[in-house]
Amino acid sequence: MDPVPPNGIALLDKPGGITSHDAVARLRRALGTRKVGHAGTLDPMATGLLILGVGPSTRLLTHLVGLDKEYTATIRLGVATSTDDAEGEVVSAGGAAGVTETAIQEGVAALTGDIRQRPSSVSAIKVDGVRAYDRVRAGETVELAARAVTIREFALLARRDASAVEAADPVVDLDVRVRCTSGTYIRALARDLGEGLGVGGHLTALRRSAVGPFRVEDAVPVPEWNEAGEPVPLLAPAEVAARLFPVLRLTAPAAADLANGKRVAADMPDADAVAALAPDGRLVGLVEVRGGRTRVLTNFPAEP
C-alpha cells in the first residue's frame, strides 16, 4: 500500500540568515512532497513564525494570509539606511542625541491606529509586473504608493542608548512590540518613526511572534537539509479551520452531499466562512451560510 501523502499545516520558527523559500524547500525534502506553500514570507534577516500548508491543506492558505500579525523588533534611531533595515547602505547617520522620551512616545502614538504607510522601495511589491527590489537592484529609483494599514498596538518595551561606528553621535535602540494588519511593513514603521523625529531610523532586528491565533511558541525549528531528525508535526486542517471560523457539524448524509458541492441545511446564523466538519471530525469544506443554507467556498478531499 502506498504511504498516505502528508496533509496539514506546519508552524515553523524560521532562523535568521535563510529565506522563506529555503524553509519551504527544506520542508518539502523532510516530508517527501512538492506540494508545500506558504501564508506569507519573512525577510532573511527576520526570525519567527512561518505558516506552511502541505498537500490539500494548501487550500487553507488563502484564509491565513490576511490574518493580523504580531512582531517584536528593535528600531535604531539616529541612522537611516537605503533598505530601512540593517542590510542596507547607510544614507544618513547623525545620531539621536537630544531625542527625548516624550518625543519618542509622541512619534509612536502618531504611528498607531489607522495610518497610511509607504512600503520600502526594496519590498516584494510588483511594479508593472516586476518586483520593486529587482528594479532597485537594476539601478532604478522606486517610490511606492502609500497604502492603508492598521497598527493595533505599537508598544515600547525598552530603550537603550548605544553607540554605532557609522554615527557621529550616540544612537537610541528601541525594543518594541507591534500588532498590525496584514501588509504592514515594520521596517517602514522604523523609517517613519526616525523621519518624524528628524534623526532617521531603521530596523535592526525583527521576529514574528504570531499570525492570527497561531503563536511562535507552538512552532518547531525549520528542518535541516539532512533527512535525520524529528518528524515535522502537522496540524490537521479541521483543527486549523476550527480556530479560524465558526463550526458546522454535519450528519454523514449532509457531509456526502456537501462533498459533492450540494447546498445543505445549516442551523446557525449567517456567516461569510464556516468550517463544515464530518461526523468523524474531518474538514469537508469551508462554506458560506445564508438563510440557513450553505454554499461551498472550498472543498477538501477525503483522506485516504
Residues with active-site annotation: 43
Looking at residue 252, its amino acid is: A
SS (H, E, C) the chain: CCCCCCCEEEEEEECCCCCHHHHHHHHHHHHCCCCEEECCCCCCCCEEEEEEEEHHHHHHHHHHCCCCEEEEEEEEECCEECCCECCCCEEECCCCCCCCHHHHHHHHHHCCEEEEECCCCCCCCEECCEEHHHHHHCCCCCCCCCEEEEEEEEEEEEEEEECCCCCCCCEEEEEEEEEECCCCCHHHHHHHHHHHHCCCEEEEEEEEEEECCEEHHHCEECCCCCCCCCCCCCECHHHHHHHHCCEEECCHHHHHHHHCCCCCECCCCCEEEEEEECCCCCEEEEEEEECCEEEEEEECCCCC
Lookup result for grid cell 504570531: 210
For helices 186-197 and 101-110, the axis angle rounded to 10 degrees is 130
